[in-house]
Amino acid sequence: MATFVFTPVIAYLIYLYKWKRIDRLWLIPIVFVAWVNLHGGYIGARYRLLVGWLRPYVALGMPLFLYDEMEANGMGTSKRVALGVRGAGGVELKINGHFSVHADLGYERFFAVEESLFYTNYFIPTVGVIGRL
């Protein structure tokens, strides 16, 4: 959920700088410090199979989440990392040069995670909006 809040903030700061000539770029590192402490991360790539207004694609990615695990002695918790891989297929609909919507279905597999804590295999549908300057 933090992504839905902080992405428009970053986009607005860039908009101010590029189009209004108001330099507030020094706020971006502060926003990232707050953002990075609220959720995991994701790095990925997408390959579009066609380049028209309807763009099917395949995507690969690597999600990473931090979570707390109870110590074996029951005294305290420790931070653990859940690292995974993701493969997906979907379609992007180009509305205009600056705006697209997309939907896909992906499979995620997490490694080095105890199944008693949470599942390691997921099918994840996504729907989103892509904005370009």
**pLDDT per position as a tens digit, 79-99:** 778 889 999 999 999 999 899
Q: Which is nearest to 13 in space by CA: 25, 5, 21, 3? A: 25
Residue 66 CA: distances (Å) to CA of 34, 42, 49, 99: 15, 12, 34, 32
Neighbours of 113 (CB within 10 A): 19
Residue extents of the structural domains in the chain:
1-39, 40-133
Q: Which of 33-37, 45-49, 53-57, 75-79 has the least mean pLDDT?
A: 33-37
pLDDT band at 15 (very low <50, low <70, confident <90, very high): very high
Separation CA 42–CA 83 (nearest Å): 10
Mean pLDDT of 93-110: 94
Residue 1, pLDDT > 70, answer: no
